[in-house]
Structure 1
Amino acid sequence: MTNSTLAELAFYECEVGTILLDASQNVILWNRWIEKATGIESTQATGKPLPEIFSEQQLSPRLLRSIDKAIDLGHSALLSQKLHKHPFPFYKNALDMENEERMLQMVYIKPLDIENGARHCLIQIFDVTETANREAALKELAREAQASAEQLRTREEELRSIFESTSDCVLTLDSSGQIQQFNTHCCRFFKFRSNKFSKKNINELLVELRKNRTEEESMSDLHSWSRRHEPVELTAIDSEGVPTQVDVSVSSLGTSDYVLVIRDITERKKAEAMLEQLAQYDSLTGLANRALLQDRLNHAINRSHRKIEKLAILFLDLDRFKVINDSLGHSIGDQLLQAVAKRLSYCVRKTDTVARLGGDEFVIILENIGTEVSANAIAEKITSSLKEPFNIGRHELYITGSIGIAIYPDSGVDADTLIRNADTAMYKVKDEGRNGFITYISDMNQKAQYLLELDADLRYALKKQQFSLYFQPLLDLEQKRIAGAEALIRWKHPIKGFISPADFIPVAEDSGIIWDLGDWVLGEACRFAKSMQRQLDGFTVAVNISPHQFKNPTLLDTVLKHVADHKIEPYNLELELTEGLLMEQTEDTIRLLNNFSDRGFKISIDDFGTGYSSLAYLRKFSLDTLKIDQSFVADLPDDLDAMSISNAIIQLAHSLRLKVIAEGVETPEQLAFLKGKGCEYLQGYHIAKPMPAEEFYAWLKDFSAEGFIQSS
């Protein structure tokens, strides 16, 4: 085989689409890649301009301009996949063609100065559909293509350069398997000098051919592989005896000779192994993840069914892990989870499965347990193991666990039911004081089941963004304007409809979800405050802060971050606290309130009058506003006790230089009474109901505070 024939073959078989145009932009030739992409053989396209083959509407304008510049001005061009995704009307398959989803391409256009003075144009099309994110590799490939293209002087040199610059090993064999021609990458990959490599037989390079006893068997294998339409996955051996996984594409030359393209797939295999690891194992602890747990549990159930055996599911939730995570940071929390995972693995047999569902939840599968007593023994072993301190960095940490047990087939016959019932039993342990274990029974407390379902729904709702914020306007009687709004969370369950905050907030507080939920509320409230800055100067959004949130040491930093992220002022945010929190009057409470106040945040006491606050308590805190509970406002102005209490709260607030908000105002008479007693702000259905942000904007455009006050 001559060098010219070899170069033409390499050009034709190259896995990069290649088109060569003459000075008139007519196709000189293109390779098999283009034939497959277009369904047009090279001989049919020869002598025709590209716009005639594809039509100008199918080719990108930038592509046509780049070809013009290459031939007329000698300019090279690289049309990257980021800016020019589809220069050619190429499709990976019939379905993509039907959906008009073109192959993602990178196109390299290079002028070629021929010796007679004519200028040709070389176009190389790279399919980057599957490797669009490997930008560095594509740049390197483009650089190599550019370097190769610049060396082209004659047609033989052009094609030979492409043959040499490929990152794959390309070689030809004679009828005995002896290597005839090869590119330089073969020597690099197999670690042979050129003169040594040229004397090798393919049997010496591929493990799968070494087993053959005769030359005929080896050539038979090659012939079989050449009839495949996809590469064969084999193992190559270099000069040092090191094996490497490769893809081998074999093409017959129509005689007894063959062309082999060998591609190193080591990195691809590593990526596949990593993806499998990520798909089945928890990245933090190395334990089985939820998907692998489900698969193993289904198999375990099938085995137990066939052998008429019992298996147990242990559902473990760490007690008060969130406190450690929030106070010491996620790094310490993650290290603690890793240490817990190791102890759990030590407590069970190698044949058992320990999985992490996420957060601080773990599930253990115990097969062939015999009786419930065996499962209890393992649970006892786990709880005892957790009692020993965990030395994490400089911290000596103590933690306990609550374990729910479900037995197959007594507690369920499918994976979902077993896990759910074990989870139910675990919450029963939580309700009874934590740090223990209990086996699921069908008549467990219905309330616990309801709370369990509500807790699960809450977590799901937070992930699926089922919550929304409504805003109830705050009317300033003195300034006769809308001064702000209170942010009120709403949850519309896809099946149960709207669920009252009075039902789900206590569950969120008990489960620890309140911190994530409160963080979301703060972010949305700040976003709304920012949007209102453009409409009303000094607009304030009031947010209810749960006592559980307030006791979190990161609350101040969290609030400051939301304010900074949304570019609002501290006075645009008002934090509403409960009387019960004030009654604790701890130094931490006083210090944190002072820190918020010093930074310009407004502080109000919600539902004032329903607790047992005293004047002495109120004087210790940096407050701005008292809110009269709606239970007093509801009976105004007819009930003497309600009138006396409301008036007393207003007078008390004014004596402490605090403003007063009356909530739950629903009638003109209530408005008139409160206005007459000097109440500064009103909130309630008489003014407006709570509403989503978009509805609030529309309502505000049509609302006249001065006219409303006068008409009331």
Structure 2
Amino acid sequence: MTTTQARDAQAIRRPPPGQGQADPSVLRLLSVIATAGALANLGLMALRLVTAGQVDMNVGISGAFLATSLLVLWLLRNGHPRAAAQLLLWGGWSLNTAFVWMHGGVHNVNWTTFLVLISGAAWMLGQRTTLLMTGATAALYGLAAWAEGRGWVGTAVRDSELIVAFYFCIMFALAAAMGLAARHSYRLRIDRERRTSAELAEREFELRKFSQVIEQSPEGVLITDTRGRVEYANPAALSRLGRDADQALGADVRSLGAMNLDPDSHDAILQTLACGQAWRGELRGQHVDGSVRIEATRVSPLRQPDGGITHHVWLRQDITARREAEARLHHLARHDPVTGLPNRSQLEERLGQVLRQNRLQGRHAALVHLNIDRFKTVNEARGQAAGDALLHALGVRLSALAGSERLVARLGTDEFATLLPDLDADAAAAGHQAYAFASQMQDALLEPLTLDSAGDQVTVSASIGIALCPDGHGQETGSSEQGAAQVLRHATTALNQAKAHGGAQIAFFESAMGDAAEQRFRIDRDLRQALVEDQLRLYLQPQVDTSGRWTGAEALVRWQHPVQGLVSPGVFIPIAEESDLIVSLGRWVVTEAMRLIAEQARAGRSLPLSINLSPRQFRQPDFVTWMQQLLAEHAIDPHLLTLEITEGLVIGNVEQTIERMQALRALGLHFSIDDFGTGYSSLAYLKRLPISELKIDRSFIQDVTRRADDAALVETILSVASHMGLKVVAEGVEEPAQTQFLAARAEGVILQGYFYGRPGPAEEWLARWAADGSLPALPALPPRQPVRETMPAALVD
């Protein structure tokens, strides 16, 4: 088909769905001509019937025109515009030819109809049909002229002027309609062309924009045909391939070495693309610069509107840095950053695996927990960098000692652990093996560790705790994870035991250690709950003079456990002193003691009390202010309260301790040195401290009548107190002979001990003292001066 034929074929056909519709103006024109033709011929038929009075050939031709027009309208209505146009134009041309040939040839007025039909063909059927119709009309005119000279053409019939006028009106109207339709169609086509041009320009801009994005993208983009031949490569792809455009374009994608395409990967890609799906994966290989790169790759089929696949698009993103970062994070999650050794998490995981294996094989394993003695000293003397160097050097030495079969891990700041996974099945033999290895570790530390390139060296010792698993006492655990955690706890308990013996020691975990640790944990937990649930009780132990007359009492704390009953202070006080619980416990005792003093004062009785203060409580920043507020709240006489402190409190920040004691002494409170003689007694400190009392420890009183050295010490303390004007309280008086000894050497000594009364609930003692009248009446006190005038401003504020 020629170009002209193609245009004619598309001039008035209904295109496939989605490809647009026929020109609406042409369809309207075809409908107008068919409708006008039908009406015109219907009118001509009527006029001719009226004029001629009979049905003749002219009426028949008009009827044929009418039928043709109606059939054209039917074809249009049923979606066959081209067939309708062909029928209208060529049918009209044929009928008009017959009419002209029968009536006058070239002298027939109906030649005007040919002009309208040719114009209609130009708009509705295209160039080829128009030229064909024009040529046929010209040939017909020549043939009619030639035939008319020979008399072969029928005589021209002169129609009435009305019919002629009606005919010409119809022709002029059709000619005007086609002209207007042509103009309207032309304008519509111009508008469509403008819109198309704008859309094309916009699409060109978008394509140019997308092209620049792809050109500047850091991701490599390749477009290949379905055979794998490269048709496009952006600069990023060319850079990674190490090729220029001329070398890459047209090359087989498999021939580009930097694509990292091994046969298996290429086959997997082809199979996925053959199914019409995109392939995603990672390709690893050597870059053109020699480095190993990892690329996230996606290969997608490029489809045409009809669904056919014509190309493949390769998107390649270099994710080497991301994968290396992930690997580093994974390594850091399981390794110590300073030494490079496995960390606690990896040790627990490996320990769990060993426990599972050994449970099946019936063998023992051991965890050897090492702590560097006095590591803090190295850090403080040499700095953190030297400390890190020491840890790294120690890790290297321990790893060399352990070998490849044993895991060495760093657990904390100065703690390491070595897992011995495959020891003897006999517990005793396994213990010997673990102890031998721990001894080797200590021997390895005898050689100095080098800290830096300058050769700076340091020698350290270590405490070591060993935990066997199973521990030799038949103890097993549930899951391997629980077992690993328990073994770690056991090793830590044994390590703490080794450190408690002075360091540089080796200790095995024993069940008693674990029981003690478990008990400490329970007491700590329950004691915190006791403070919340009011389980503490205030006890009093009387203090008397040498004649047995009551002079006061010491306030003590007891714990009434809801399940275990009364818990001994020797059990929970040491545990409280290891944590912040001792501060809360001390605050409770001081508050209860003041409440008790205030309660007796309201009853008109004087109740002097002594209270033990822990160093940690005394060193609280707000302790002085808190005591001042508490005294004001309870409105008690401060002289009735004596605070007992130990000599160890003074060691350290002496000036601050003395300043705080003076501030509290200014409030009216008294101070007593508790357990005097058992600590680092210093007469120089004693002279400077604002104290009013010394309390002799019970260890001296117990044997004062049987041991001359104890007697001499007690006499010395009594003499020192006498010369310094201090009161003396003797603890632990349990025998009459002890009372006689003390009374003979110091008339004013205060006695406290089981001989005069055991500690008991405060309510019971107060009821007894109130009943026998031994509680003295509260003396009238002078007005107290404001505290702020006698306290250092810094402490008050």
Q: Where on the TM-score scale, by shorter chain, does this alignment land: which range?
A: 0.3 to 0.5
Radius of gyration: which is bigger?
A: 2
- Between Structure 1 and Structure 2, which shows a larger proportion of helix residues? 2
TM-score by length of 1: 0.48
The TM-score with structure 2 as length reference comes to 0.43
